[in-house]
Amino acid sequence: MAPDLSSLLEAEDFRTAARRYLPRVLFEYMDRGSERETALRLGRAALDRLRIVPSVLTGSNDCDLSCNVLGKTLPTPLIVAPTAIAGMIRPGGEARIASAAARLGVPVCLATQSIVPIETVARAAPGNVWFQLYVWQDRKRTLDLLERVKAAGVETLVVTVDTSVQPLRHYNRRNGFSMGFRATPRSVLDIASHPRWAWNALLRPLVQGRGIPDFPHYPEYLRPNVLRPRQDPSVRLARDVTWQDIEHLRVVWKGKLVLKGILSPEDVTRARRIGIDGVVVSTHGARNLDSAPAVADVLPSLTDEAGNMTVIADSGIRQGSDVFKLLALGADAVMVGRLPLYGLAAGGAEGVERILSMLLDELRVTMGLSGQTALSELELNSLLNVRGQE
């Protein structure tokens, strides 16, 4: 039975509903970290160490959540992060997320490895869709994909730069998952024990003649699907991406260009010098390098180096106060990845809209209780770091 969305009041409620609906193989893929999951724990701890020092008797009433991102004014500081295979959570998942987010004025960044193609998602949320790019081994095929993205009306390209090798996510191997499902006794039993999901995501498309869900941004004759995820070498993620590749993309991509996965001031400086429009300070949701520093710990030094570039932060956001803290540390906006997926699993597009609305309501409450009226006024001195005082 589907949950009553009105009973889901915080992120953990949506997470619990998602866990019940999804097979373990898919839930753990979207929910967990890498290796020993140290970065996942420390990223959360770094946000929790930051305490908000309120200003009282300010007469604050309504708060302004608008912000400037890449030269545009957005009504909220939220952006939906690119997440692979959202379309396996619910059919049409990426388009459902995009349409729900658009109703709140929240841009959505579509992943290269999405199940729904860019053309469909762009129609679901006109003018509100960014595209995330992985550079493939065959650079010509990468540029061909960019032409397709441009033709769909996308203006902002986000290049993920923190995945030069495949990270170690041991639970995926145990669960029989690698950008698709590998049949093992454990994975078959897992899927069979979640019949609602199995019908919606796998069986119904087959019955309706739509075939097995695949990855439509790959060349048609090289396209993997969720039961055959093996990739042709030409469209595997390139391991030899350099700053020269980024400089070339800066020449060929005439829209806004953002690098995702930046954690060092030196990389911010280099990005600024070659004309990059923005960076996403990110640990890839703590799903890549398990010894990476927490975003909250490095963000202030990176914003100091950014100059006029837009700085977006992501990884580990669970509540409105997390958004407040990252903005106070200097970010212009934040990306949220897991929360929209929890909402999608719990209740489709309605669940996505509800969890994003919940996050914005929590941010408004945090601002009200802290005596702040506008995001543009948030400052580092509103935070107290209690490291060592726990």
CA quadruple 129, 124, 285, 233: dihedral positive or negative? negative
Q: Which residues pair with 108 in a beta bridge?
A: 80, 129
Q: Compute the distance between CA of residue 315 and CA of residue 302 in angstroms, rounded to an integer.
A: 16
d(CA 321, CA 74) in angstroms, rounded, equals 19
CA dihedral 286, 292, 295, 301 (to 10 degrees): -160
For residue 16, how far is the Cα from the chain centroid?
A: 19
Angle CA 46–52–56, to nearest 5 = 180
Whether 194 is catalytic is no
CA pair distance 134, 148, nearest whole angstrom: 15
Token duo for residue 4: 């009553």
Q: Tell me, what DSSP letter sits at residue 331?
A: -
Structure tokens, 277: 């429009």
Catalytic residue chosen out of the listed positions 170, 194, 248, 284: 284
The one-letter amino acid code at 48 reads: D
Per DSSP, the residues of 27-79 read HHHHH--STT-HHHHHHHHHHHHEEE----S----S-B--EEETTEEESSSEE
Residue type, 3: P
Task: Report how far apart, in Å, the C-alpha atoms of 162 and of each of 43, 87, 182 are.
Answer: 17, 23, 26
Task: List, by residue number, the catalytic residues.
Answer: 284
